[in-house]
Amino acid sequence: MKKKPSKAKPRRKPLRRVKTRRETALARSEQSALTPSDRLEVAEALDRALREPPKKLAVLLALRRAAEARVAVHVGFCEKADGTYFNTALLTDRDGRLCGTFRKIHLPGTKAADGFAQVYEPYYFEHGDTGYKVFEACGAKVGIAICQDRRYPESYRCLALQGAEVILIGYNTPISALALDLNELCLRSGAYANACFVVGIAKAGVEDGVELIGGSCIVSPLGQVLAKATTTGDELVIARVDLDQMAPVRKRWNFLGRRQPQHYGAVLTPVTEKEPHR
């Protein structure tokens, strides 16, 4: 009898893929990768998302390796707090210290089918309540946004006004005709308009039969792509980020210093149930 090929459990495949990328990054002596350290603060933050002992142990083993190699980490997870679920990301420094967490603010789609929505994230998660935050990590001021947040210029601006030099944005986007172009457009425009580095970190491959766009990239303060993934599969994308490049760009354009916020009142107009632009 022909033996059927064994299938990996759904959540183990992603863990193997993360481990492979992490080990490649550590071998290259890079200072950041998409896996966290296992310091106590990080374990507590992940505990709400990783209730199953085997899963938690697998993640924490990966995290310890990053801390030992002095690799800073940015990673997303499902956070449960007081019975409420949030789409959350955390950031650690090279010594494993938990810098902080951010809860995704902009949720795409609706809670139920309405003829327009293609995703239903509001059904599963609540809108983030942390506000935009900037953290000190790897000698830089680092801001975080998540997926849909990258499509709102307010995300980059709020972080830049707090001094962000690097903005990290993890995302998970299904492939479509313009998806990759629009993704890069958002990242590049956010970097240029705020004269800071933007790093887009994509989930790649196929999940539940849906192919994802990938497209991870690192963008300079002038909106130039310094490095990017070239396929829809798993890749390690590396670029040297020189924070000194920001000073001449900010002095030349001074987008933040020449703002006229007294004319931006419409931006703060509350969103109604019957949004006219839908």
* Strand 206-207, strand 72-81: pairing: unpaired
- Supply the DSSP string of the chain, one letter for each residue: -PPPPP---TTHHHHHHHHHHHHHHHHTT-SEES-----HHHHHHHHTT--SHHHHHHHHHHHHHHHHTT-EEEEEEEEEETTEEEEEEEEE-TTS-EEEEEE-----B-SS--SS-S-BHHHH-PPP-S---EEEETTEEEEEEEGGGGG-HHHHHHHHTTT-SEEEEEE--B--TTHHHHHHHHHHHHHHHHTSEEEEEE--SEETTEEB----EEE-TTS-EEEE--SSS---------GGGHHHHHHHH-TTTT--GGG-GGGGPPPPSS-TT-
pLDDT of residue 242: 94
pLDDT of residue 172: 92
The predicted-structure confidence for 91-106, as pLDDT tens digits, reads as follows 988 988 889 999 999 9
Q: Which residue has the higher pLDDT, 182 or 117?
A: 182
Structure-token pair, residue 199: 């790093």
Radius of gyration of the chain (CA): 19
Q: Round to whole Å and give the CA distance between 64 and 31.
A: 15
The predicted-structure confidence for 128-182, as pLDDT tens digits, reads as follows 999 999 999 999 999 999 999 999 999 999 999 999 999 999 999 999 999 999 9
pLDDT of residue 67: 83
Q: Round to whole Å and give the CA distance between 143 and 155.
A: 10
Domain 13-131 = CATH 3.40.50.720 = no
Q: Round to whole Å and give the CA distance between 56 and 52.
A: 6
Q: What are residue 170's DSSP bridge partners?
A: 146, 201
pLDDT of residue 128: 97
CB 104 within 8 A of CB 146: yes
Backbone angles phi, psi at 147, to 5 degrees: 45, -105
The predicted-structure confidence for 54-95, as pLDDT tens digits, reads as follows 455 555 666 678 788 888 889 888 888 898 999 999 898 898
pLDDT of residue 11: 46
Q: Which residue has the higher pLDDT, 135 or 276?
A: 135
AA letter at 149: D
Task: Collect all residues with Cβ–Cβ distance below 8 Å to 238 and sequence separation of at least 6.
Answer: 25, 28, 30, 227
Q: Residue 152 burial by CB count (10 A; 0-12/13-18/19+): exposed, middle or buried?
A: middle
pLDDT of residue 34: 39
Which CATH number among 1.10.287.3510, 3.60.110.10, 1.20.120.1200, 3.90.930.60 corresponds to the domain 132-257? 3.60.110.10
Same fold, 13-131 and 132-257: yes
Structure-token pair, residue 126: 């609540």
Q: Average of pLDDT values for 246-273?
A: 93
Domain boundaries along the sequence of the chain:
13-131, 132-257
pTM: 0.81
User: Which three-class secondary structure state does DSSP give residue 135?
Assistant: strand
Question: Is residue 6 pLDDT above 80, yes or no?
Answer: no
